[in-house]
Homo-oligomer: A and B are copies of this chain.
Amino acid sequence: MVKRRSLKGDYCPSARSLDVIGDWWSLLIVRDAFDGLTRFGEFQKGLGIAKNILSERLRTLIARGILEAVPAADGGAHQEYRLTAMGRDLFPVMVALRQWGEQHLFAPGEEHSKLVERDTGLPVRLDVRVNDGRPAGPDNTVILKVPELDQD
């Protein structure tokens, strides 16, 4: 593989995001963290990921500030992996992925897990809007590039 190109210097925020969480496992780990999992074994069993890979992923997610390792809430000797504020801010990303999956990756009527408000059970939805509230989509928006660099 020689070296996977880093997008760290890219001036497109999406590219930088993908540079940080764009690999195969990271977002799945984050999903499980949102779901309340905190322990090594829980992630490992739930995802069916090899332990060495999980170990390395947790390390880099911590290094990048998305997870933190805290010394066990229940007094146990193990540590817990928890989302940081930065990690919790990935919530809209997860919801967007979920929504797209629901739309396009399930047969009509096929069962799937749902995201709902805890107290009311009402479904949760996400949409893109212009600041004033009008809906935004690919057709009425553009990406404004950084002037000098002409890079996306």
Contact = CB atoms under 8 A, between A and B. Distances in A.
Interface stretch (A7-15, A54-62, A69-77): A7-15
A56 B143 CA distance: 27
Interface in A95-132: 95-106, 111-132
Interface string A132-152: 101011101111111001011
Contacts of A32: 152
B128 A122 contact: no
A39 interface: no
Given A27-B18, A122-B131, A123-B131, A12 B113 contact: yes
The 3 closest A-B pairs by CB, nearest first: A13-B101, A17-B101, A16-B105
